Amino acid sequence: MPPAATPPHGPAASTAGARPGVPAPAPARRDHGRAGPPGSAGAGAARDVEAPDATAAEAPAGPGGDGGSLLDRVGRWAPAATPFGIFRLAPLAPGDDLTLLTTWMNDPAVAAFWELAGPPETTARHVHAQLSGDGRSVPCLGLLDGRPMSYWELYRADLDPLARHYPVRPHDTGVHLLLGGAADRGRGLGTALLRAVTCLILAHRPRCARVVAEPDVRNAPSVAAFRRAGFHLDAEIDLPDKRAALMVRRRTTPTEPAPPRR
């Protein structure tokens, strides 16, 4: 359950997050489905329960932490054209990526939901839970025309504790989003990127029929961004650390990504 400046299902708010505790857990804390104070889009429930099924045995994390077959090798996905430029997901690498992410996590607008403000070690622990896992959650930087400007967590919702809180289906894929810079918030960028990433998931994960997110119900900008990106509010659910809006976008055909709603 991972978060546009949104935390993963583990923590409090919602743009897309979760806490570790599962074998090969997904990130430590996330705001499921956070889309912002437009900087956030994501996390929510704690990862302190075993995964609901054994699908995690499908494959270990791929080279570079791209999720392997559990998430169909995110690092190899094609870029996507958006109204704001060419967007690409790049699996997070230690070093400069972590330094940048720590800076974003200490932005008050982000920290309010992700709850990961603090020294680099705080961010490192959160990311390490995913990078050392089995590939069920992949942390990524979002690059717009080559510029790192957002943080994403793509995760197997059907292998996450979130699955205990809604009628899960095999290969449901969750998303958390955080927009890093204030200049990238509040101008529709989060919605455009959510739409692009959702289409990428559906295009590159043929077994996935639904993309889900669980922003905090109080995070109105995040919920609105998901709605504009084609998600609908399926239900309000109580997670260990928040009441979340379960946002769902379904595939409209067996093999094609869903078109954006206008």
Give the pLDDT score at 38. Answer: 37
Cα–Cα distance for residue pair 248/206, rounded to 1 Å: 17
Cα–Cα distance for residue pair 124/7, rounded to 1 Å: 15
Q: How large is the average pLDDT for residues 125-132?
A: 92
Give the pLDDT score at 68. Answer: 86
> Which of residues 145 and 19 earns the better pLDDT score?
145
Judged against a pLDDT cut of 70, whether residue 19 lies above it is answered with no
Confidence of residue 113 (pLDDT cuts 50, 70, 90): confident
Helix (H, G, I), strand (E, B) or coil at 233: strand
Helix (H, G, I), strand (E, B) or coil at 213: strand
Give the pLDDT score at 206. Answer: 95
Backbone angles phi, psi at 29, to 5 degrees: -140, 135
Backbone angles phi, psi at 55, to 5 degrees: -60, -20
Cα–Cα distance for residue pair 9/160, rounded to 1 Å: 10
Give the pLDDT score at 72. Answer: 94
Judged against a pLDDT cut of 80, whether residue 128 lies above it is answered with yes
Q: Across the chain, what does the average pLDDT equal?
A: 78
Confidence of residue 95 (pLDDT cuts 50, 70, 90): confident
Question: Tokens 């995964």 identify what position?
Answer: 51
Backbone angles phi, psi at 258, to 5 degrees: -70, 140
Cα–Cα distance for residue pair 76/52, rounded to 1 Å: 27
Residues 6+ apart with CB under 8 A from 92: 65, 98, 101, 127, 131, 139, 140, 141, 151
Q: pLDDT above 70 covers what percent of the chain?
A: 71
Q: What is the pTM of this model?
A: 0.76
Least confident range from 27-36, 87-96, 161-170: namely 27-36
Give the pLDDT score at 253. Answer: 52
Judged against a pLDDT cut of 60, whether residue 188 lies above it is answered with yes
Q: How large is the average pLDDT for residues 75-84?
A: 96
Rg for the chain, CA atoms, rounded = 15
Judged against a pLDDT cut of 70, whether residue 22 lies above it is answered with no
Helix (H, G, I), strand (E, B) or coil at 156: strand
Confidence of residue 79 (pLDDT cuts 50, 70, 90): very high
Judged against a pLDDT cut of 70, whether residue 159 lies above it is answered with yes
Q: How large is the average pLDDT for residues 12-33?
A: 33
Confidence of residue 48 (pLDDT cuts 50, 70, 90): very low
- Burial of 117 from C-beta contacts in 10 A (0-12 / 13-18 / 19+): middle
- Please report, to the nearest 10 degrees, the dihedral formed by the alpha carbons of residues 81, 84, 86, 89 taken in order: -100
Give the pLDDT score at 96. Answer: 86
